[in-house]
Amino acid sequence: MNTNRRSFISKSLLTVGAAVAGTSLLQGRENNLSLPAKGNQISIRKNDIILFQGDSITDAGRQKDNPNPNETSAFGSGYALLAAGSLLSEHASKNIKIFNKGISGNRVPDLQKRWQRDTFDIKPTILSILIGVNDFWRTMDSGASNTAQQYKEQYQKLLDDTLKQLPNVQLIIGEPFGLKGVKHVTDAWYPAFEGYQQAARDVAKEFKAILIPYQTIFDKALAEAPGNYWTTDGVHTSLAGATLMAESWLNTIK
């Protein structure tokens, strides 16, 4: 991450009253915790359209009745807001548009149902997807019967359809993650949840997407602070966790 990105995130944290936390989190982060994404980095081009897709981690309380790009209220309070603001600040001359269409509770079949409206109609040139934790989680708390293999096949179908409609789109896939021992994420999640994580990694490789290894990133972060520092419940990020995710996401960009 360059100086401009770090400066933006630091200023963002200050605006929500986290000056002290923001300073400590950002010092040395790119070298210590925010691992490089796996795959070639993406260059931001003039008029790029960047779309964040996913579940509640991406949604982060965004104002869903605001369909406009580049507006704070349309981004919620998570990693997508911090990453988008940094890109807009750094690439101010390139007329880029950034959207967040994450929806809380979504699984891959939910993405499939709204993909025309929330992806194809937007015509992104860069598409970032973080999905999978609910595909597993609902098997634990709601009796859903899907498996890691079904999740993988659904994800493959989603991306097949995406590349047919948007053959030149550049893909970024986030690995689903959980911090064991924090509220909802218990020993009962394992080893089954790991199958979903492996499926996401396999899909990223198959579709030549950049993979952000969020589980590895958070596992490394546990050496500095416990899981309830980075997440509120093992899945949804705190301010510190959202910042770590944003920095990791920005590592996909040249």
Q: C-alpha 95: how far from its chain's center?
A: 23
Residue 143 has pLDDT above 90, yes or no: no
Mean pLDDT over 182-188 rounds to: 95
Domain ranges in the chain are 3-250
Least confident of 21-30, 218-227, 245-254: 21-30
Beta carbons within 8 Å of 208's beta carbon, 6+ residues apart: 39, 171
144: confidence class by pLDDT, cuts 50, 70, 90: confident
37: confidence class by pLDDT, cuts 50, 70, 90: confident
Q: Catalogue the E-assigned strands of the chain.
A: 49-54, 97-100, 126-130, 170-174, 210-212
Predicted pLDDT at 140? 80
pTM of the model: 0.87
Q: Considering all CA atoms of the chain, what is the largest pairwise distance in Å, rounded to the nearest integer?
A: 50
* Average pLDDT taken over every residue of the chain: 89
Question: Within 13 Å and on the Cβ side, how many CA atoms surround 225?
Answer: 12
| Length, in residues, of the chain | 254
Looking at 3.40.50.1110, 3.40.1080.20, 3.20.20.70, 3.40.50.2300, the CATH number of the domain 3-250 comes to 3.40.50.1110
Rounded-to-integer distance, Cα 31 and Cα 28, Å: 6
161: confidence class by pLDDT, cuts 50, 70, 90: very high
pLDDT digits (tens, 9 = 90+) for 169-182: 999 999 999 999 99
